[in-house]
Structure 1
Amino acid sequence: MLDYMVLYQSETGNTKKLATSIFAALPGMAKDLRSIDELNGLPDAATYFVGFCVHRGTCSLEVGNLLSSISGKNVALFGTCGAGNVDNYYKNIENSARIWLEDDNLYLGGFFCQGKMPVQIRQKYESMLNGDQAHDHHLKLQLSNFDEAMIHPTKDDLTRAADFAKNCLSRL
């Protein structure tokens, strides 16, 4: 059995960057880092760090199913999302994914940060602008958020992810 298993699902590479930073922060050699999309079963570990890219405020069904298969272990969540760089939003994401976990797990917490989005998202927002000030105001906020997300995850985000992993271990 491994001490630590870092599992992630990453479409654009953002969450993989966090996973790599978390993995590097974990001590010892009894650890592994794998993409959820490449798993043939849940590797046995004492502690799982499970990461995902956020869609519509939560994890994918595949990640949810993986989380629900973990029992009697230590579990932490992490991920990236393009929308919103607000702690309350991140907490809602964490809570919506956490409901997949069985109650017999020790939940260690969650870490979320912004991640860059595909350029098609920006193009979609731009195509929806129609000159109506009230309508366009929201879209302009979305465009501004898109532009801010383009530099994430930053070095600071990766450092905070590593610190998060170390903090989780201090709770064991």
Structure 2
Amino acid sequence: MKVQVLYKSKTGNTEKLAKAIYAAIPDPDKDIQRLEGQKNYDMGDVYFIGYWTDKGTASFEILDYLGELHNKKIALFGTCGFGGNEKYFQRIEENVKAFIGDDNEYLGAFMCQGKMPIQIRERYESMKNGENDAKVEALLRNFDEAMLHPDRDDMEKAAVFVNSVFEKLSGEGANC
């Protein structure tokens, strides 16, 4: 079975996660590539597709690519600046997995927090107006926490996710 890791990364967070996922894949027939306009939809049998989060979903390029895959096994992974909220991660997963066609097998998703560009922090700081200071302080605390991610713990959890995907595949009689 051929395993393909494809990803889009804006700040390096998703690329870091993609490399950890690639390293954890036990199958020797594997490849990793940044998604840069590829139109080849037969790069593998199993796909790990990674994305950074923008307004609660993935980039159009990721969504378009997902929509063109057929008869594949697909696992998702992603990063987002806002962390610590499993429901938010699940909402992002739902928004992205909606683009996976019914003829594919969905294998699950892994999400973790990732650092954001400093311009986001500057925007948060400029939002303070005396009435919303508590909310802005919470955004700033989240920003500062995000600067530490993805961290070693996130990479270990990504490897556990990969192992769970391959356990599912081996349970189906896949050659892993």
Q: 1:107: which partner in 2? A: 106
CA RMSD of aligned residues (A): 1.2
1:13 aligns with 2:15: no
Segments of 4+ in structure 1 off by > 6 A?
none
**1:38 Cα deviation from its structure 2 partner:** 5.6
Answer yes or no: is 1:165 the counterpart of 2:159.
no
Q: Report whether the alignment pairs 1:88 with 2:87.
A: yes
Distance 1:58 1:114 in 2: 14
Aligned 8 A contact 1:6 1:48 in 2: yes
Amino acid at match of 2:63: G
Q: C-alpha distance in 2, partners of 1:112/1:71?
A: 24
Residue of structure 2 equivalent to 1:155 = 152
**SS at structure 1 position matched to 2:120:** helix
3-state SS, counterpart of residue 47 of structure 2:
strand
Q: How does 1:31-110 map to 2 (within 5 A)?
A: 31-37=30-36, 39-110=38-109
- Would you say how many aligned residue pairs link Structure 1 and Structure 2? 169
CA deviation map 1:119-150 (0-9, x unaligned): 11000100111122xx2221111111001101
Contact 1:5-1:43 within 8 A present in 2 as well? no
In structure 2, the residue matched to 1:118 is 117
User: Could you list the per-position Cα deviations for residues 72-101 of structure 1 after superposition, in whole angstroms to 9, with x for gaps in the alignment?
Assistant: 110000010001321111000000000000
Local SS of the residue matching 1:117: coil
Identity %: 44
- Tell me which residue corresponds to 1:22: 21
C-alpha displacement of 1:163: 1.1
Task: State the shift of 1:42 in Å.
Answer: 3.0
The question of whether the paired residues in 1 share the 8 Å contact of 2:37 and 2:61 is answered with no
TM-score normalised per structure 2: 0.92
Which sections of structure 1, spanning at least 5 residues, go unmatched? none
